[in-house]
Amino acid sequence: MVVLHSVSPPSEGVRHEQADITAVLDGKGLGSGTLCVAESRVSWFDGAGVGFSLDYPSISLHAISRDLSTYPEEHLYVMVNSKHKEDSRNEGQKVKDDDSSSSDDDDDDDDDDDDSVGLVTEIRFVPNDKGSLETMFTAMSECQALHPDPDDSDSDFDGDEYDVEEAEQGQIDLPTYYSFEEGMSQLTVEGQATLERLEGMLSAAPQHCMAGVRTEDTAAAINDELKTNSEALGISGQFDDADVDHW
């Protein structure tokens, strides 16, 4: 809840302070005052020290608005996830009296209305110096970045997504990764011997190269060996040559 009260501006971590800022809360102008953007919170207060403070987690959106059709002046628009209410005893007493005179059904309806309406406060900070808008926005963005949303668990996720519950029940196939040693252990004795022969041929291949280009005889020998022994490695068909005309 955004409530007007006596504000003590923060003295530490202040990123930007701008005077001559008109604050407009839900369409109601509060006059001119000072906007203080600090690392801990955003505060606005008038000459008498009366204003409000916003915690960064409560700020759902902030942006520079240059659309003069929505408001006649360029400003910094801030959306807060709670409704602004003035701290007025008379208003509170009036609401209390109205509630006590209504029926139980009306009370239920009023409660539903209170839950669905008034969850958002729109605040406009209108500076006399429109050139300060970028600085105000940047300072607020940097400070809000210091207060990440703890519910935003996907922000640091890296990798393929899958349903954890389905994976635990074995309903989906997850990829299996092996280290070099584990991969070697999956080969048969014959497959390991074949792999060693292929590695020997590849290590000897540079002796038959000309300017880094493999000769036809060496290429044909390696291709024949790959085709002959690929079944022993359990990878038949994976390295077959495509039907491509060689010029």
Question: Which amino acid makes up residue 126?
Answer: V
Angle at 109 between CA 107 and CA 110, to 5 degrees: 65
Rounded to an integer, what distance in angstroms lies between the CA atom of residue 54 and that of residue 242?
A: 66
Integer Cα distance of 170 and 81 in angstroms? 41
Asked if 38 and 12 touch (Cβ cutoff 8 Å), the reply is yes
Predicted structure pTM score: 0.52
Across the range 38-62, mean pLDDT stands at 95
pLDDT of residue 34: 97
The more confident residue out of 181 and 94 is: 181
Classify strands 50-55 and 41-46 as parallel, antiparallel or unpaired. antiparallel
* Alpha helices (H) in 128-234, listed in sequence order: 133-144, 164-168, 180-185, 189-204, 216-229
Position 78 confidence tier, pLDDT thresholds 50, 70, 90: very high
Lowest average pLDDT, out of 54-58, 70-74, 89-93, 115-119, goes to 89-93
Residue pLDDT, tens place only, 173-227: 656 666 666 666 666 777 777 777 777 776 665 544 444 444 455 556 556 666 6
Q: Please provide the size of the chain in residues.
A: 247
